[in-house]
Amino acid sequence: MVSRLFAALLLASFLALSSATKMPDYIQICHRNDPELSKCLKASIHKLRPYLVNGIDEINVPAMEPLYIGDLNILEAGAGGGLTVKAKKLNIFGASNFEITKMRASIPNKRFDFELILPHLQGEGQYDINGNILALPIKGNGPFVGNFTNFVAYVRVTYDVKTVNDVEYFDVKEFTMKIRTGKGRLRLENLFNGDKVLGDVINQTINENFELFTNEVIAPIARALEVKFLAVATKILENFTYNELFPV
C-alpha cells in the first residue's frame, strides 16, 4: 500500500512538473543544434505575431496595436536655420504586421540578424513644425496622419546567457534597427494657422518629395521603434529559460 501511494505521489509530481513546464501555444521551440535554425526562428516569430496585437497578459507583454510612441523630437534646427519637427502623442498602427524576409542566426556568435518588411504603417498624433523645407518656409501645429508602405527594417540582436539562481536566461546586449523608407503620404492639418492654400502647397511639396523628407526624419522614429520592440522581446525572454526556448 505504501509503495503504491509513493508511486502515485511520484506520478502526480511528474504530471504537475510536466504541466508547469509545458510551453504556451504562442512559443515555437527551436533547437540550437538545428541545421535550419534560422528557418525555425523565422517561423517561430511569425507564429508569435497574432498574439502581439493585443499583448500577452500572462507574461506582461504590452499590446503592439497601436504602438504608442508618445512625444518625439524628430528634427532640431541648427544655428544656421533648418527645420524643427516635433511629434506629440504619436501612435503607430500596423507594426505587428511585419514579415521577416531574411534571417541569419548564429549561436556560436550569439547574434541574430534579420530583415523585415512593414507592409503598411499609419501614424497619428499631433505635430509642431517650424523652419524651411526645400527653400519654402513652413510653420504650424495640429493633428497629422501619415500612411507608409513597404518600409524595410534591418535588425541586429546580440545576446549573452546569464545565470540567475543556477538557471540560464537570455540577456539581450544589443538591439539595433535601421529603416529604409518606402512610399507614403503625410497630411499636416492647420499649417499657417489654417491657411488652406499655403497648407495645401506644403503638403503637396512634402508628398512630392516624400522619400527626401522621410529620410531626414526616420532616424529618431527608428530609435523609438527600437525601444518598443526591445521591450516586447525582453518581456518574452525573461519569462522563459534559455534551455526552454533553445534546447539542445
Mean predicted lDDT score pLDDT of the chain: 86
Query: Looking at the domain assignment, is residue 19 inside a domain?
Result: no
pLDDT tens digits, 109-154? 999 999 999 999 999 999 999 988 767 788 899 999 999 999 999 9
Assigned domain for 8 exists: no
**Structural domain that includes position 110:** 25-245
**Is 236 contained in some domain?**
yes
Q: Is residue 11 part of a domain?
A: no
Band of residue 80 on the pLDDT scale cut at 50, 70, 90: low
pTM of the model: 0.81
Residue 18 in domain: no
Nearest Cα to Cα of residue 30 among 192, 242, 199: 242
Say if CB 136 and CB 202 are below 8 A apart. yes
Instruction: Give a yes or no: residue 235 inside a domain.
Output: yes
In a domain, 52, yes or no: yes
Take residue 8 and report the three cell numbers written for it: 502515485
- CATH number of residue 142's parent domain: 3.15.10.30
Q: State the average pLDDT over residues 75-89.
A: 81
Residue 227, in any domain of the structure: yes
Residue 119 near residue 107, CB atoms below 8 Å = no
Task: Count the domains in the chain.
Answer: 1
Count of Cβ atoms closer than 10 Å to residue 224 Cβ:
20
Q: What pLDDT, on a 0 to 100 scale, did the predictor assign at position 4? A: 47
**Does residue 185 surpass a pLDDT of 90?**
yes
pLDDT at 146: 92
Please state, as a whole number, how many other Cβ atoms lie within 10 Å of the Cβ of residue 31. Answer: 12
SS3 content of the chain, % helix, strand, coil (to 5): 35, 40, 20
Whether residue 66 contacts residue 97, with contact meaning beta carbons closer than 8 Å, is answered with no
116 vs 213, higher pLDDT: 116
- Read off the C-alpha cell for 48: 508569435
Nearest to residue 141, comparing CAs of 101, 199, 180, 185?
199
17 or 83, which is more confident? 83
Residue 195 has pLDDT above 50, yes or no: yes
Average pLDDT over every residue of 168-192: 92
The C-alpha atoms of residue 177 and residue 157 are separated, in whole angstroms, by: 9
Closest CA to 203 of 138, 110, 112, 125: 138
